[in-house]
A and B are shown apart, each in its own frame.
Chain A
Amino acid sequence: MKYLNKSWIRKSSLFILSMILVSPLFAWAANAVDYSEPLENAAHQIGAIGEGYSLFSGIFPEYSLPGTNIVLDTAVAGFFGVLVTFGLAWSIGRIIKKGNE
């Protein structure tokens, strides 16, 4: 069997895409319980920190896009995130492989 054949790539892509498609549901549910990171909750509960600061909040802060709704935001942000992560990790692999040749 070829290592990453078309069928395997299709299955992997569908699996990743399905996670992205359901992610808005999780974002909506997290929003409903007023979610924040466990570490931030712990910090607030024990009064360990007054105000955090942010130097840079990202291109899509909190996995969202300005002016759209939470469902679309999360799916689009997730889609871009997956593409960029794949591209970055693959590029690192290619650079390392080239250096070895």
Chain B
Amino acid sequence: MHIPDGYLDLWLCGIFYLLTLIVLSYSGYKARENLDEKKVPLIGVVAAAIFAAQMLNWPIPGGTSAHFVGGALAAILLGPYVGVLSMASVVTVQALMFGDGGILALGANIWNMALIDVFVGYLIFRLFKNKNKSIAAFLAGWIAITAASLFVGIQTGLSTIFKFQLQTTLLIMVIGHGVLGIIEGAITASAYRYLIDVRPDFFEKSNKKEVEA
């Protein structure tokens, strides 16, 4: 899902840098209201764990692979505003240290994998959590990653440098990630289930505060 440089027109890169900076700044502002002291190291632990999990690329015959992205889990665990900052750290380090995702495309990549994945994941989780929390976590992981891929499809489809039409890029990205997203949902639900059993206090405070925000 990491867009390399050379896939997006410069004007699109600029727009998504701007949009991303605006939403990240707003998230930083909102996170100030919600962040409590003891949660600060947890932001680092979640980011580090997601970085490591993203290194586990499961090879799929045919020359492709899938890995956990983790935005929905970060949202459920840290709340949306803090979750966004944690995921943005992961995507930034991947681009700057490892060239995973382009520098010009960094705004778009943070938009897709940090902002969309986290905010959509959080909304879906909140929407369904009163019915069944594990299913809510599964749907959050699945739908959020599909939504993120929808944006990749839109960005590459609108780009003239990427010589294919919008409906084609949308189909390729959304169908592909819609199927692989089932794994994302399953991992999100399993991780959530484990963490809420061993550390329910992680969730009580963060979610209460975010709801109040």
Contacts and interface: CB of A to CB of B under 8 A. Distances in A.
Interface of A: 1, 3-4, 8-9, 12, 15-16, 19-20, 22-23, 26-27, 29-30, 32-43, 46-49, 51-63, 74, 77-78, 80-90, 92-94, 96-97, 99-100
Nearest to B51: A85
B26 interface: no
A97 B35 contact: yes
Given A26-B56, A42-B172, A63-B55, A34 B63 contact: yes
Contacts, number: 212
B40 A94 contact: yes
B59 A26 contact: yes
B99 A56 contact: yes
A35 B42 CA distance: 33
* SS of B interface (majority): helix
Given A35-B57, A40-B4, A41-B64, A85 B47 contact: yes
B2 interface: yes
Interface stretch (B117-125, B132-140, B157-165): B157-165
Given A19-B52, A49-B162, A85-B51, 17 more contacts: A3-B42, A19-B55, A20-B52, A23-B55, A32-B59, A33-B60, A33-B63, A33-B64, A48-B169, A53-B6, A54-B99, A85-B89, A88-B93, A89-B48, A90-B40, A96-B28, A96-B31
